[in-house]
Every structure is written in C-alpha cells, then in structure tokens.
C-alpha cells in the first residue's frame, strides 16, 4: 500500500526589490547612526565666535564676515593639506565658493605661508585661514577633516558633516538653510 502524498507548503520568495529596499534602509540607518556618534561633540546652537587672520594677514572675524553676507548661509570648510579626502572635495568647495560665502580653515597644515603655497600649487582659490595647531577645529568639536559647518543667517549652526560630501549635497544644505 502506498502512502498518501503529503502536500509540502510552498514558501513564497520575497521579491528582490523588497529585500534590496530593506538592505538600503539598514545601511542608511547604520550610516546615520555612525554620523551621529561621530559628531556627538560637534558644536550646536550659535556658531562659536572667533577671530583669526587670512593667509595674506588681513583680519577675519566670523561675526563681521557673516554681517557682510546678510540673509546668506555661510560655509566653514575645515580641511588639511595631508588629507586625501579633502583633495577629492576641493573641487566642490571651489565651485561652491563662486556662489556662496565660503571660508576654508586649513587645520594642522602649517603656518599661513605654507598653506598659501599649498593652495597656490593646487589652484585652490577660496579664502582660507591657517589653524596650525587645530584649535579652531577643536573649538567646533570636529573629529577630523574634511568637515563642513553651515551657519544660518541668524548665526546658528544648521548642518555639520565630516568626511566626503558631494557638491550637490552641500548646495542643497546651503539652499535649505537660507529657506528655513
């Protein structure tokens, strides 16, 4: 006598696009969590005021610079001559500097003369300050370079990012900061 056939349940496969969506959401969540952890000490609220000198020796005062650009969001770009990722973002910063107020802060890259020579060699043309000992970067609580700090027209920090950031990402953040 033969045994009756047993129906085995058919398991339906999850569609590939759904699995990819879940994986993308997990990756994005992990990325955002890592960014939040990395920027846990970053300055929030009013941008820390500071006074420094441009590479040519002219004075720079953050409050005065912001006042020169009323109603505009401004970008503080912390970078270093030894940072490979900074070299990949330099073109984006240069393009943005044509449309938005940008000041670079060359941290731990030597004195003003050394930074000026490096910028000339590389063709960087955005206004910059030398921060040879990294004090400004520490004041803003930034863990490394490149770092981007977007300050709203009212003087509050709106966005902080560390690491590679695309030009379109920076432009959208600057635009959004001015609109809200």
**In sequence order, what are the beta bridge partners of 53?**
59
Q: Give CA–CA dist 1/127, Å, rounded.
A: 91
Please indicate, yes or no, if residue 32 is contained in any of the structural domains: no
What does each of the 180 residues of the chain score in pLDDT, given as a tens digit? Answer: 566 666 666 667 778 888 889 898 988 888 878 777 777 878 899 999 999 999 999 999 999 999 999 999 999 999 999 999 999 999 999 999 999 999 999 999 999 999 999 999 999 999 999 999 999 999 999 999 999 999 999 999 999 999 999 999 999 999 999 998
Task: Give the dihedral sign, CA 41/46/52/58.
Answer: positive
Number of domains the chain is built from? 1
Instruction: Tell me whether residue 7 is in a domain.
Output: no
pLDDT for residue 1: 57
- Predicted local confidence at residue 2, as pLDDT: 62
The answer to whether position 44 is within a domain reads no
Would 68 be classed as within a structural domain?
yes
Burial per residue of 140-173, b for 16 or more beta-carbon CB atoms within 10 angstroms, e otherwise? bbbeebbbbbbbbeeeebbbbbbeebeeeebeeb
- Confidence (pLDDT) at 13: 75
Asked if the structure places residue 158 within a domain, the reply is: yes
Structural domain span for residue 85: 51-179
- Residue 128 in domain: yes
Q: Is residue 31 part of a domain?
A: no
DSSP character string of 106-175 = EETS-SHHHHHHHHHHHT--S-EEEETT-HHHHHTT--SSSEEEEE-TTSBEEEEEES---HHHHHHHHH
Q: Give CA–CA dist 139/41, Å, rounded.
A: 10
Reduced to 3 states, what is the DSSP secondary structure of residue 154? coil
**In terms of Cα–Cα distance, which of 155, 161, 112 is closest to 133?**
112
- Give the CATH number, domain containing residue 85: 3.40.30.10
* 33 in any annotated domain: no
């Amino acid at each position: 006598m033969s045994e009756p056939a047993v129906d085995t349940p058919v398991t339906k496969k999850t569609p590939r696009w759904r699995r990819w969506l879940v994986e993308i959401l997990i990756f994005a969540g992990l990325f955002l969590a890592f960014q939040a952890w990395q920027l846990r000490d970053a300055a929030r609220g009013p941008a820390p005021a500071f006074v420094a000198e441009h590479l040519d020796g002219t004075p720079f005062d953050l409050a005065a610079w912001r006042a020169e650009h009323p109603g505009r969001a401004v970008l503080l770009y912390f970078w270093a001559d030894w940072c490979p990722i900074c070299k990949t973002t330099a073109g984006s910063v240069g393009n943005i500097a044509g449309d938005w107020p940008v000041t670079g802060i060359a941290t731990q890259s030597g004195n003003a003369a050394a930074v000026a020579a490096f910028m000339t060699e590389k063709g960087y043309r955005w206004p910059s300050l030398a921060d040879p000992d990294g004090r400004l970067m520490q004041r803003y609580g930034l863990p490394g370079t490149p770092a981007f700090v977007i300050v709203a027209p009212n003087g509050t920090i709106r966005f902080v990012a560390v690491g590679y950031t695309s030009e379109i990402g920076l432009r959208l953040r600057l635009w959004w900061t001015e609109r809200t």
